[in-house]
Structure 1
Amino acid sequence: MTFTLRSRQVYLPDGPRPATVTVHDGRIAALGPVDADCDEDLGDLVLLPGLVDTHVHVNEPGRTEWEGFATATRAAAAGGVTTIIDMPLNSLPPTTTVAALREKQAAATGKCWVDVGFWGGAIPGNAGQLPALHDAGVFGFKSFLADSGVPEFPPLDRDGLAAAFASVDALFVVHAEDPGHLRDTLASRAYPDFLASRPPVAEVAAVGTALSAAAAAGVRVHILHLSAADALPLLREAAAGGVRVTAETCPHYLTLDAHAVPDGATEFKCCPPIRDAVNQDGLWAGLADGTITVVVSDHSPSTPDLKRRESGDFAAAWGGIASLQVGLSAVWTEAQDRGFTLADVVRWMALGPADLVGLTRKGRIAVGADADLVAFAPDEPFVVDATALHHRHPVTPYAGAALRGVVHTTWLRGVPVGDTPHGTLLRRSEDR
């Protein structure tokens, strides 16, 4: 099948320009002048590459009541995300063996509205399993340095982290909070009480641990969901010294302010936590100077009862933000207000995540790339209606938020995403 799309702003890897995009058999076959004949003129809509979200907790199998492949991937497509990489928890079993990976792949088959890949998990005692998991196609390995929140995915200590790093030449992605700096949280409806229990020093110390271990082993390490801007100098210093390190942050850390979290609003709870506006400014500076290269959702929903919405107790509530469908709009709204461009957002949310995991045919509008495309109205305003989102549960801190930027159509490998899922399961390989 061949068809052509025309837009006055097509967001190419080197920036936006008017163009006509020719799609053939699911890939981009040519880029031509905007005045060429076409099948569909997008008018005032811009054409973006499909976003790549490398940090999504789908939770299926085992905790599908929390989310699931059908609901998560449909939400992704509605938000302009055409590829996700699923985290190895909070599914049961976690993706820490090849057998568990096969179980998860079986659970996902036929249910995905977007393309889906998988992370493996590094936990105490499974270093010997990691080479086989890597060969089976996972994109790398996630580990925690503090309690993950679920007993089947315990954290690694320094020796365990070193053992994992030494077991296989792979990309390791680390939840960096140091348990020695975390404090017990008493029952409270006040967000400042929860925030005080996870201070910035916990992230700084854990980032230092991960960087030291990566330098010793010579592996690639990626710091997940950085919320503490105080850790940025460590990352800059390590990169300058030759450590193969990258870092991400998330829409909630870039757009939400700790001082604005209402009492009992547990939909805002996540780990590491949403911090204050001064810290947020530091994260944006980290994006501006390239210390942070990736913005992804860390979509980690649960059932409403686990969020303790009735009691509003931050100590007891599950820590996770649901934002997969609104991340693009949230980041673009804030980025535009801060003087960044939509090309910046595309680099952080499409090209950067794709390059992180080696998906060279994703996250870009280029000849030979998959025709994963998004027709986007960057100036169109809307108010987030949580009940209208495709997430399994209508719980999100963005409910009622006034945002800009609406996804009108999403194409996955040249086919508009509609009522029938046609996503494929991805594996790490050299040719993608």
Structure 2
Amino acid sequence: MSQSHSDIHLFSQRVLLPEGLQPATVTLRDGKIAAIARGLPAAERAEGFQDLGQAVLMPGVVDPHVHVNEPGRTEWEGFATATRAAAAGGVTTLVDMPLNSDPVTTTAAAFSAKRQSAAGQCWTDVGFWGGVIPGNTDQLETMIADGILGFKAFLVHSGIDDFPQATADDLRQAMPILARHGLPLLVHAELEGEACEHTPAEARSYQAFLASRPNHWEDRAIALMIELCRETGCCTHIVHLSSASALPMIAAAKAEGLPLTVETCPHYLYFAAEQIPDGHPEYKCMPPIREQQNQEGLWQGLKDGLIDIVVTDHSPCTPGLKLLEQGDLLHAWGGIASLQFGLSSVWTRASARGFSLSDLTRLMCSQPAAFAGLGQRKGQIAVGYDADLVVWSPETRFTVSPEQIHFRHPVTPYAAQELLGVVQQTWLRGQLIYSQGAHLGSASGQFCLLA
């Protein structure tokens, strides 16, 4: 292959290729991976050559569960801050959720407004999920034609009134449409049932909050979605699984061959309820972070292949809505800000449990890309793929401090946590966009739209 003067050659002793970790030189050209040479090429000092030494070169992280909240709630987050945080954390592609923007992405007009709002602001590539709510079935085909990657629905109150929860009948109308197009339905799987009620006196108690969202809410909802998946043939995705007790029915559904996929999140794998102090709403999310024994079940689900991907579910709000001073878990907004620290937090716990870097790449790069319909261009270091890469040191520890944080508000349960794995560089389609703590160039992210 002839060399272009614009070629970039990245050599590392540890390149994470689909077949495993090995010395290699990766050539970038015109935004794509143009060549991969095992080992160090003879022309190692050619123009554009960089020796990364022992730093790991792996695919950029693909995070298909991010709440950017723009347009309409940019005081919560926004495309500029979210994608800068993503780049700093090794994320090169994210998919934005249909809420909590205003308007929510449940109509073709709202989808158009969201793309207009995001244009020119994104430091990473960005895709979009639409929403399924009661009465918007007539919007789905147009949104699909406009490039939406799939749709999300809630089986419980979403937290905002303009994204109402869907019933089983609503989903029976929507799922055949998605099935015809091969697109997934993502479901917040909780069905309200019996629970221990919070009292005002228990507002600061994490255990009281946990008891108010028991795991059987998830289990009942997942059982319903498995039935609807079987009934409609629609690819069905369970978002942010926190209940390990649902794994046996998930295993049975997968063994049956149903098109069911499952995600979990770093906070369910990193934190456990027993260690969460009272009066700290930065840990509040729905479904909640559960006990250590439950967490071990989630890790086993990852090992067994029952949980397909790990995503951040970055869901920030303003500090005021978190009620930090009051420590009120009853009324605080539920959502965890974590986009920048997903890779490091997962690796911190995964490496201690015997997971390999190849496992990490499968769970956070290649399988998320495939799930979002982007598996032919993102999520792997392979010839012809987008040159989306992260260079990092998985053995180096760092402590999360406010000045490091690039998402809009430095309110996160990862504050002061010591994490394993420092991102040194992030490359987006062959351009270095983040290096040694600084963003480079300008916002050059593109939209990932299905044709």
- TM interval, short-chain normalised: over 0.9
Q: Report how far residue 83 of structure 1 moved.
A: 0.1
Map 1:406-425 onto structure 2 (within 5 A).
406-417=422-433, 418-425=440-447
Distance 2:135 2:196 in 1: 27
Contact 2:178 2:184 in 1 (8 A): no
Q: Distance in 2 between matches of 1:423 and 1:416?
A: 12
Please point out which of 82, 92, 104 is paired with 1:72.
Answer: 82
Q: Say which SS state the counterpart of residue 99 (structure 1) adopts.
A: helix
For 2:96 and 2:382, locate their aligned partners in 1 and report how far apart those are by CA, in whole Å: 25
1: CA distance, partners of 2:389 / 2:194: 43
Give me the CA root mean square deviation.
Answer: 1.0
Q: Is the 8 A contact 2:156 2:192 kept in 1?
A: yes
Q: Verify the 8 A CA contact 1:181 1:198 in the aligned structure 2.
A: no
Quote how far apart the aligned CAs of 1:241 are.
1.4
Is structure 2 residue 25 aligned with structure 1 residue 25?
no
Partners of 1:97 and 1:133 within 8 A in 2: yes
What is residue 84 of structure 1 aligned with on the other side?
94
2:282 maps to 1:267: yes
- The DSSP-based 3-state class of the residue aligned with 2:220 is helix
For residues 12 and 183 of structure 1, the distance between their equivalents in structure 2, rounded to whole angstroms, comes to 49
The code of the aligned residue for 2:389 comes to L
Q: CA deviation at 1:134?
A: 1.2
Structure 1 equivalent of residue 437 of structure 2: none
Q: Distance in 2 between matches of 1:231 and 1:210?
A: 12
Q: Describe how 1:388-407 pairs up with structure 2 within 5 A.
A: 388-407=404-423
Task: Tell me the distance in 2 between the aligned counterparts of 1:195 and 1:387.
Answer: 31
Tell me the equivalent position of 1:343.
Answer: 358
CA–CA separation in structure 1 for the residues paired with 2:420 and 2:177: 45
- 1:8 matched to 2:13? The reply is yes
**Structure 1 stretches of 5 or more lacking a match?**
none
Give 1:61's match in structure 2, choosing from 47, 71, 91: 71
Aligned counterparts of 1:257 and 1:22: Cα–Cα separation in 2: 42
Tell me the amino acid that sits aligned with residue 218 of structure 1.
G
Q: For structure 2, which runs of at least 5 residues remain unmatched after alignment?
A: 1-5, 434-439
Is structure 2 residue 128 aligned with structure 1 residue 118? Answer: yes
Question: Which secondary structure does the structure 2 equivalent of 1:168 belong to?
Answer: helix
TM-score w.r.t. length of structure 2: 0.94
Alignment of 1:374-393 (within 5 A): 374-393=390-409
Structure 2 CA distance, aligned partners of 1:181 and 1:75? 39
What is the CA–CA distance in structure 1 between the aligned matches of 2:410 and 2:71, rounded to whole Å? 21
Whichever residue aligns with residue 26 of structure 2, its letter is V
1:5-62 Cα shifts (integer Å, max 9, x gaps): 0001110112111100011101001100322134000012110100000000000000
Shift of 1:168: 3.2
Asked if 1:225 corresponds to 2:235, the answer is: no
* Cα pair 1:147 1:179 within 8 Å, conserved: no
- What are the Cα deviations for residues 396-423 of structure 1, in whole angstroms up to 9, with x where unaligned? 0000001110000000000000141110
Letter in 2 for 1:408: Q
Percent identity, aligned pairs only? 53
- Alignment check: 8 A CA contact 1:58 1:86 kept: yes
Residue pairs, 1:178-193, within 5 angstroms: 178-181=191-194, 184-187=197-200, 188-193=203-208
TM-score by length of 1: 0.98
Task: Tell me how many residue pairs correspond in the alignment.
Answer: 429
Partner-residue secondary structure (3-state), 1:428? coil
SS at structure 1 position matched to 2:361 = helix
Give how far 1:386 is off: 2.8
Deviation at 1:158, TM superposition (A): 1.3
Instruction: Return structure 1 stretches of 4+ with deviation > 2 angstroms.
Output: 166-170, 180-187
Distance 1:177 1:183 in 2: 15
